[in-house]
Amino acid sequence: MSELPQDIPRRYKRKTQRIVLPFGTHARFAGQEYSFDSHKAINGHFLVAGPSGSGKSHQLNRMILGLAEQGAKQVFVIDVHGDLGDFSDIAPHRDRPIPEGLVHTINFGEQTQYGLPPLDLLDDPEGGPRKRANAFINLLQRQGALGPKQKTALYRLLIDLYKQHGFMVDDPKTWSLSYDPRRTRSRNVTPRPGMLALPNLNWFDKSEGEKDEIRQEYGVKFNGETKCWEISQDHPKASEAVERWGEAGGKRFPTLADVRRHLWDRLVMMKTGQSAPAIRSFDKVMSLATKRAKLRARKFDSAGAEDLDKLEGMIGKAQAEAVDAFKDGIEKVDSGQELEELLLWDSADAVKGLFDRIEALERSGIFKGVAPPFDENVPIWRYNIKSLSDDEQQLFVDVLLERIFLEAKSRGEADGPDTFILFDEAHKFVVDDGDHIINRIVKEARKFGVGMIMGSQAFIHFSDDLLMSSGVKLVLGCPEMYRESMRRKLGLDMIDMRSGKRVNPLSLIRPKDTAMLSMATAGENAPMTDIKICAA
C-alpha cells in the first residue's frame, strides 16, 4: 500500500474575527449560559420567531449591535418597518455606553436619489454579462410570467447593451470598469473653438450603418489637424457623446433607463416599420415640436418671437432630415439581421408589455442610477425600505441579496461568518424555490463567510430545508393560532403538567422574559431549550 503524501495542500480560507453573541441562561438551571460562537457554530444563519409585543425588534437590534461590537466585517440591515438600527431601548440595560457612528442609514423610495444597480457586473469570472442578464430576466419572471419570445428578445437586448458599454460577453477582462476595449487609442487632443473632442471614437471599427447613425444622431465633424472627431458643445447630445467617446468620459454599467430607451426605440420601430436612425430623427422632430408648443403657450416679447422663428427653422430642417432617414431606412439594410429581428420582435403588444414592466420598475425608484454611498468604515449599513410597497420590497431584497452573495463569493472562502444580513418579516421574502437567492444563501453562503438572520411571526412560513439549514433557532413567542403546527414543525413534545394536563411548550414562553433556543455546533445538534433571554 502506497503512503499518502505528508503535505497535502489545503484550500485557503480567509481568517475571520471570532464573534460571541450571548442569548441568555437556562430558565431553570443556574450557571448554564448559551452563546453563539462564530468559530464553533455550523453556520451564521438565525431564524427568530415572535409576534408583535414579544420583543423581537429589541432582540434583532441587540444582535445587530452585538455583531458590530464583536468585530463583524459588515452587517447589512434591511429595515421594512423603520424600527431597526435604533439602540435606545438597549442602552438602559447596559453597563457601558453604545459607541457612536455604528450605523449608516440610507432611505430608498420615490423621493430619494439612490437605488440598486440591477445590471452592474462584478470583476469576477462568474459574474459576466450572460449571468447578469439571465439574473435580471429571472427577477422580472418572479414578478410575472414572461413569454419565450419576450425572454429571448430581452436577453439579446441586454447583451447588446453590455457590448455598447464596453462589456464583451466572451472577454472577462472587459467585465470591470478599469478596462475599456473601446478606448485603446485614447489620447489628449485640443479641439477647435466651440467643439468637444471625441478621441475614443474609432471610425474604422464602425459599419457604414453605424457611421450614418452616429452622423445623424450626434452631428460629429472630423478635425483634419488633430485627426480626431468632434461634436459641437451646443449639441443636445454633446454630454452623451463625450461620455461614450471623450477623454473624460468614464466607462459605466448599463442602467434601467438604458433598457427602457432601447425598448422604446424598438416599439416605435415596430409601429412605424422604420430603422433606428429614422426613429431617432422622428424623435428629434417630436422633441422640437414640444418645445415650440411650450413657447407658443407663453407670453413673449420680440426676443421670444425670434426664438420661435429660430425654432421653426430647426423643426423644418429636422423634418427634412427625418423624411430622408425614413427613405434611407426603406432602401438600406444596416446589419443584415433585420429579418431575424423582425421575427424576434414580431409582437408590438409583447414589446409594449416589456416596456411597461421596465418603466414601472424605473418609476418605483428601486433601480435608480445613483448607487447608495455607504461609508466603508461604518460596520452597520441600514437600508430603510419602509416607503416601498410589498412588491417593491421583494424586488429590492432579491437584488440586494444577490449582490451581497456575489461579492462574498468573489472574496473567497472564510473560516467563519463575518458578514451578516438581517431583516424582519421574512415570510414576505422567502420563496419555495431552491434557486431563489434566500435559499441559495442558506445552502451555499456559509463557506464564504455570510450569515443571514431572519425574523418572522412564526416558523410555519419556512420550508423544512430552511429550518434544518439554520444553525440558530430562537422562539420569543408564538401566536396561539400557529402553536400546534409550529410545535410539530420544530419536533417538540407536549409537556405533562403535574395537574395531569398536557400543554404545548410554546404556550409557556413568557414574552420579553423567556424564550426557546436551539443552537447547532459542529458535531452537535442541540434540542430546543428554555432560556431566560438577554436584554442587552
Q: Which of 242, 156, 234 is nearest to 194 (CA)?
A: 234
Give, for 23, the enclosing helix (H) or strand (E). strand 20-26
- State the pLDDT confidence band at 429, using cuts at 50, 70 and 90: very high
Q: Which range, of 155-164, 220-229, 239-248, 281-290, averages the lowest pLDDT?
A: 239-248
pLDDT at 250: 64
Q: Give the residue with greater pLDDT, 343 vs 474.
A: 474
Q: Taking all residues of the chain, what is their mean pLDDT, rounded to a whole number? A: 85
Q: Which range, of 86-100, 277-291, 311-325, averages the lowest pLDDT?
A: 277-291
pLDDT at 142: 77
Q: Give the residue with greater pLDDT, 210 vs 531.
A: 531
pLDDT at 466 over 50: yes
Cβ proximity of 25 and 32 under 8 Å: yes
pLDDT at 420: 98
Q: Quick one: what percent of the chain has pLDDT higher than 70?
A: 86
Q: Give the residue with greater pLDDT, 139 vs 336.
A: 139
pLDDT at 272: 63
Tens-digit pLDDT profile for residues 169-217 = 989 888 888 887 866 545 567 889 999 988 878 786 666 767 888 888 8
- State the pLDDT confidence band at 351, using cuts at 50, 70 and 90: confident
Kindly give, in sequence order, each residue whose CB lies less than 8 Å from that of residue 61, ignoring residues fewer than 6 positions away. Answer: 84, 85, 86, 87, 89, 90
Mean pLDDT calculated for residue range 8-37: 87
pLDDT at 431: 85
* Most confident region among 70-79, 212-221, 336-345 by mean pLDDT: 70-79
- State the pLDDT confidence band at 1, using cuts at 50, 70 and 90: very low
Mean pLDDT calculated for residue range 446-467: 92
Q: Give the residue with greater pLDDT, 364 vs 204.
A: 364
384: DSSP letter: E
- State the pLDDT confidence band at 349, using cuts at 50, 70 and 90: confident
Q: What string of DSSP letters covers 63-127?
A: HHHHHHHHT-SEEEEEESSS-SS--TTTGGG-SSPPPSS-EEEEE-STTSSB---TT---SSTT-
pLDDT at 248 over 60: no
φ, ψ dihedrals at 190, nearest 5°: -105, 115
pLDDT at 436: 87
Cβ proximity of 442 and 473 under 8 Å: no
Tens-digit pLDDT profile for residues 259-315 = 998 888 777 766 665 555 666 677 777 888 888 888 777 766 666 677 788 888 888
pLDDT at 42: 94
Note the Cα 275 to chain centre separation in Å: 33
Kindly give, in sequence order, each residue whose CB lies less than 8 Å from that of residue 16, ignoring residues fewer than 6 positions away. Answer: 38, 39, 73, 414, 415, 416, 417, 418, 449
Q: Give the residue with greater pLDDT, 133 vs 500.
A: 133
Mean pLDDT calculated for residue range 354-367: 84
Mean pLDDT calculated for residue range 499-527: 88
pLDDT at 2: 46
Mean pLDDT calculated for residue range 25-44: 92
Alpha-carbon distance of 11 to 414, in angstroms, equals 10
